[in-house]
Amino acid sequence: MSTREHEAKDYYDDFATGYEDARGRGYHGLIDDLEMEVIAPRARGVDVLEVGCGTGLLLERVAREARRAVGVDLSPGMIGKARARGLEVALASATALPYGDASFDLVYSVKVLAHVPALADALAEAARVLRPSGRLLAELYNPLSLRYLAKRLAGPQPISDGRTEADVYTRWDPPWVLRRVLPPGLELVDVHGVRVVTPAAFVHRLPGVSALFRRAEHAALRSPLRWLGGFLVAELQRGPR
């Protein structure tokens, strides 16, 4: 395990205790719902792998759609909570997946790849475990977004006692980076924009205003504005063999 991976493991182990405190509702619930709008139709009835499953919040929802849903994560603290949900999970790095070639029809990773220094290696490993015509949903953090501006203005936020977001490696990739790091055999077929119009997370705590922004975000997911999403979900497909 590299130094960066050790740092990420420790960071997310500390984060695991309070990770779900604000999840499943408000702003974070909206982000999960938008990501599920992309993932769920592609997971239906097939074998799915989540890279960086955390405590299993999304994986639990995906498991209701998939034939088989499996997750991996670098953090024992996160994996322990996912196992407590009864999910099939393993302790592993995004760059060394413990599965054979062509094991899954869909691989997805959200809120994770921005914290993996070796992005090209992670994408290549995801491509390795994809079956012919399989899909990869790879979410990146987009600097061409309101989210990036809000993060720069607010500064690193606390995630636990003594730790902030600055304690984990984070990379912001403009959309054109994807074509430079795509492994052989994968084609970019679409891009989905998550958190396009939300100026700051707190607006989703305001009655009435939150509902307006929620509707706007769902409308923007596949609109021309999607390229300004704080989270860009690249949809990649492996060619037939």
- The structural domains of the chain, with segments of one domain joined by +, span 3-238
Q: pLDDT value at position 147?
A: 95
Neighbours of 50 (CB within 10 A): 30
Q: pLDDT value at position 1?
A: 66
CA-CA distance, 159 to 172, in Å (whole number)? 19
CA-CA distance, 179 to 118, in Å (whole number)? 15
Structure-block tokens of residue 8: 């990420």
What does the pLDDT profile of the chain (241 residues) look like in tens digits? 677 787 777 778 777 777 777 676 789 999 999 999 999 999 999 999 999 999 999 999 999 999 999 999 999 999 999 999 999 999 999 999 999 999 999 999 999 999 999 999 999 999 999 999 999 999 999 999 999 999 999 888 887 777 888 888 999 999 999 888 999 999 999 999 999 999 999 999 898 899 999 999 999 999 999 999 999 999 999 988 6
Supply φ then ψ for residue 39, to 5 degrees.
Answer: -75, -45
Smallest CA-to-CA distance from 57 within 39, 22, 32 is with 32
Give Cα separations from 82 to 20, 86, 87, 96, 110 (angstroms): 12, 7, 6, 20, 16
CA-CA distance, 39 to 32, in Å (whole number)? 10
Structure-block tokens of residue 166: 């600055």
Q: pLDDT value at position 12?
A: 80
Residue type (1 letter), 220: A
Q: pLDDT value at position 241?
A: 63
Q: Are 69 and 103 in contact (CB under 8 A)?
A: no
Residue type (1 letter), 6: H
**Which residue spans within 111-222 are E strands per DSSP?**
130-141, 158-160, 163-164, 186-194
Q: Are 94 and 71 in contact (CB under 8 A)?
A: no
78-117 pLDDT tens trace: 999 999 999 999 999 999 999 999 999 999 999 999 999 9
Smallest CA-to-CA distance from 131 within 151, 97, 153, 106 is with 106
Is the CATH code 3.30.2010.10 the one for domain 3-238?
no
